[in-house]
């Protein structure tokens, strides 16, 4: 073998290795698998966690550390925070649109990642995305031209070769295809009957739609150590109920969500006083999957901070309260697309 050929072979393998999935995807998948395998112990754990929450909440109400001013507050070992503030603007223009969607679905959310390399739109039958039984998403992902090798059943998308992911979760159909040089499109159908047929019909109807620029100003202040902002976006049932949201994640799979809602979330938790302000705190895995939640009444709107950190830990209260205090959302741009569907 010539030296040149060996060098080329080594380079190809190195480039192949560089396409490895991020560990965060695997950690998240492992968490789902472990949850599925160990549902019974989890139920027991949740019951214990809820009992602990009541005990801890009672202690807090009795005048514990919550009344201590920030400067004198003891270190919060439950959720160490990063000191660095992060500022971002989120360009939410997604220049594609499906001309066909299943009946009843309306657009509920648009989001982009921090690098601006991925944009996603969501349609649901109702106002909820995270816990919705049915939803459809369309993602636009910028990748290098070599990211072509993927397996799965093949389908024609108006002359382009689409592939169904063989690794989609049960009940999901994930269809990916190249729509233009350097962009990969993905349609995900969740919870709908005949998901593959639905995904194919949606994919074949996708057209470019320049749309108007739309920018959300939002930033995290303090966030848990090891986390970085991942996504920002807008969601809501209608333009009058639009709210911004931010997400951060860590390589080990932990996530942090911050969102402004027009109505209070269903699972408020226990009312406490933190730095003279009324907040609601919940520790224990709820329907949204979060291990902890802090809610602040902004006077007609509600700031919700959720932490997805595995085992519930009431000790994260002060850290999450600081996240809630320092997160900032600018005015939500007019979002006429909320609650609508393609004409």
Q: How far is CA 16 from CA 9, 20, 163, in A?
A: 11, 7, 20
| Minimum distance from residue 20 beta carbon to other proteins (Å) | 4
239, 334 contact by CB (below 8 A): yes
Rounded Cα distance between 82 and 76, Å, is: 12
Across the strands, what pairs with 156?
A: 161
Across the strands, what pairs with 111?
A: 120, 233
Decide: residue 210, CB within 10 A, 0-12 exposed, 13-18 middle, 19+ buried: exposed
Across the strands, what pairs with 82?
A: 223
Task: Give residue 77's region: left, alpha or beta (phi > 0; psi -120 to 50).
Answer: alpha
Residue 299, both tokens? 């006077």
Rounded Cα distance between 122 and 107, Å, is: 6
| Minimum distance from residue 249 beta carbon to other proteins (Å) | 15
Classify 131 as helix, strand or coil: coil
156 vs 278, which CB is nearer to other proteins?
156
71 vs 149, which CB is nearer to other proteins?
149
Residue with tokens 């932490």: 307
202 vs 242, which CB is nearer to other proteins?
202
67 vs 95, which CB is nearer to other proteins?
95
DSSP 51: H
| Minimum distance from residue 246 beta carbon to other proteins (Å) | 26
| Minimum distance from residue 224 beta carbon to other proteins (Å) | 16
Nearest-CA neighbor of 211 among 337, 116, 107?
337
| Minimum distance from residue 34 beta carbon to other proteins (Å) | 8
| Minimum distance from residue 80 beta carbon to other proteins (Å) | 16
Contact set with other proteins (CB under 8 A): 1, 5-6, 8-21, 23, 25-27, 29-30, 33-34, 145-146, 148-154, 156, 158-161, 165-167, 178-182, 252
158 vs 215, which CB is nearer to other proteins?
158
E strand or H helix that includes residue 8: helix 3-18
| Minimum distance from residue 158 beta carbon to other proteins (Å) | 7
89 vs 142, which CB is nearer to other proteins?
142
51 vs 169, which CB is nearer to other proteins?
169
Pairing relation of β-strands 206-208 and 160-164? unpaired
Rounded Cα distance between 327 and 257, Å, is: 11
4 vs 343, which CB is nearer to other proteins?
4
According to DSSP H, which parts of 19-88 are helical?
23-37, 39-61
CA 21 to chain centre: 18
| Minimum distance from residue 27 beta carbon to other proteins (Å) | 8
74 vs 170, which CB is nearer to other proteins?
170
| Minimum distance from residue 281 beta carbon to other proteins (Å) | 27
């Amino acid at each position: 073998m010539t030296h040149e050929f060996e060098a080329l072979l080594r380079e190809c393998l190195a480039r192949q290795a560089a396409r490895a999935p991020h560990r965060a995807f695997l950690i998240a998948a492992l968490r789902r698998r472990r949850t599925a395998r160990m549902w019974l112990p989890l139920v027991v754990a949740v019951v214990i966690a809820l009992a602990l929450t009541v005990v801890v909440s009672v202690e807090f109400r009795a005048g514990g550390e919550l009344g201590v001013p920030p400067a004198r507050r003891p270190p919060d070992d439950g959720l160490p925070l990063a000191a660095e503030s992060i500022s971002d603007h989120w360009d939410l223009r997604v220049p594609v649109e499906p001309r066909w969607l299943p009946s009843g679905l309306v657009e509920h959310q648009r989001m982009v990642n921090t690098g601006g390399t991925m944009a996603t739109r969501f349609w649901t039958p109702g106002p909820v995305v995270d816990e919705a039984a049915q939803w459809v998403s369309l993602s636009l992902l910028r990748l290098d031209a070599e990211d072509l090798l993927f397996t799965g059943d093949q389908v024609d998308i108006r002359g382009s070769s689409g592939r169904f992911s063989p690794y989609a979760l049960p009940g999901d159909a994930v269809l990916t295809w190249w729509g233009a040089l350097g962009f990969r499109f993905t349609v995900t159908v969740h919870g709908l009957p005949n998901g593959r047929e639905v995904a194919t019909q949606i994919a074949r109807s996708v057209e470019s739609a320049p749309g108007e620029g739309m920018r959300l100003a939002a930033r995290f202040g303090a966030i848990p150590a090891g986390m970085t902002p991942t996504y920002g976006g807008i969601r809501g049932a209608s333009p009058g109920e639009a709210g911004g949201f931010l997400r951060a994640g860590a390589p080990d799979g932990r996530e942090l969500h911050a969102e402004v809602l027009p109505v209070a979330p269903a699972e408020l938790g226990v009312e406490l006083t933190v730095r003279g302000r009324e907040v609601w705190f919940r520790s224990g895995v709820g329907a949204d999957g979060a291990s902890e939640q802090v809610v602040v009444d902004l006077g007609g709107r509600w700031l919700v901070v959720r932490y997805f950190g595995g085992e519930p830990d009431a000790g994260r209260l002060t850290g999450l309260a600081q996240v809630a205090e320092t997160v900032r959302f600018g005015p939500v741009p007019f979002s006429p697309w909320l609650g609508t569907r393609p004409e």
